Each structure stands twice: as structure tokens, then as C-alpha cells.
A = this chain, B = another copy of it.
Amino acid sequence: MYDYSQWNHIFKLDPNKEISDDELEKICESGTDAILVGGTDDVTLDATISLLVRIRRYAVPCILEVSNLEAVTPGYDFYFIPTVLNSNDPKWIIGMHQQAMKEFAHLVHAEELVMEGYCILNEDCKAAKLTSAVTDLSIEDIVAYAEVSEQLLKLPIFYLEYSGTYGSPQVVEEVSTVLNNTKLFYGGGISSAQQAIEMKQFADTIVVGNIIYDNLQEALLTVKAVKEGATK
């Protein structure tokens, strides 16, 4: 079993976006710690299976981030399950999870299921709108969600999600100060090696997504930048 708590860098692939075999090879053999498959727009089962099969040619760990139940398939190394802590709708905190258990409890191994405490902070992103996330939060509010994740829920991962926009290093830094056991993931808008390094100062793991599709070379540089920082 892989140890996701040691991962520094993750590439996030959207099943609904095109990626060529050549590009996928570069991503999978980049030295990244894992490939996370997930998206907000209607992800289909066909799309998650297709991407799984293509990624499986490589030795890199492969995780499905579950955003809708229809797209769940066996075969991934882990299933990361977001609970949107700042959602205004119980469905995104616990409701879908309960429905999922009714359907899938006997198909999965508990040790493959990893709960992520999500805090979605870009009010304009699709994920925020979909989950009715309350994004008008003070730093104290955000830090308190991190403390709930570590001290009460004892979640393995707290995920600061700025989906589509580059977030506040100050927020990531403040949150990092209250987490000891729960790992801090940062995702959103990283589009250069410099930004990767900036957020990696505070986050345990950075997630690099859209830039893969916009500028593959720059995306690949984020791996090297983070890995060199991590070994310093």
C-alpha cells in the first residue's frame, strides 16, 4: 500500500479533458508522487475507467477523487472522498457519502477510502457553486475548519481548494501552523514552478491541475521544483 502522507506533489487529471498518450506519458513519468483523477463537471464512468486504464501502463499511484457516485469504478489505488466542510448543504458534507455506502459499502476496502476535509475558497469556481460552499470566510474561520479536521474528525487530509485561481499563501501558512497529524493539501491555480515552491513551503502536498492542459512544460517543471525543495 502506498503512503499518501509522504506525497509532496500530485498531478490532477480531469476525465473530461483530452490528453494525448505522449502527454500522459510525460505526466506519469514526471516523478510526481501520484495521479489524482477527478473533476467537477459530470464525470462519467466511461471517462474514469478509460483514464484509469491509460494511467495503469505506468508505475505511478493512481487515485480517484469521487465527486459523483456514477463514476466510481474498482481498480484505483485509493478513493479520496471529499467532505465539503464549508458547504451549506448537508448532502455535500455527509449525505452523498451515506448514499454511497448504501450502494458501494461491500465493494470497497475501508483502507482504500481516504476522507478529505475540503474547504473551497474560490467563490467563482464550479465546485463552490455546485456544493453551495460558503466562501466568505475569515482566516480564523478557515483555520477553525482545519482544527475541526485535525482535532475532532481526525481526518487524514485537509484540502484548501482554490480551484481555478491561485490562492493566498498567507492562508496556507496560517492553516499549516495548526496541523500536525492531518496533512495539508493545496490545490488551485498553480501555473509555474515558482508558485509550486511558494505553496509547498506551507502545504504538505500541492496538487497541480489545469496547467497540465495549458502549458505541459511548465507543469512538468513544478515536479522538479517541489522535489528539489522537498529534499533540501
Contacts and interface: CB of A to CB of B under 8 A. Distances in A.
A1 interface: no
Interface in A1-24: none
* Size range of the chain A interface in the assembly: 20 to 34
B101 A144 contact: yes
A105 B140 CA distance: 11
B151 A98 contact: no
Interface in A121-172: 140-141, 144-145, 147-148, 150-155
Interface stretch (A31-39, A80-88, A191-199, A213-221): A80-88
Contacts of A141: 98, 102
Contacts of A108: 151
A51 interface: no
A178 interface: yes
Contacts of A97: 148, 152
Given A87-B90, A90-B88, A90-B89, A101 B148 contact: yes
A81 to B, nearest CB: 6
Interface of A: 81, 83, 85, 87-90, 93-94, 97-99, 101-102, 105, 108, 110, 113, 115, 140-141, 144-145, 147-148, 150-155, 178
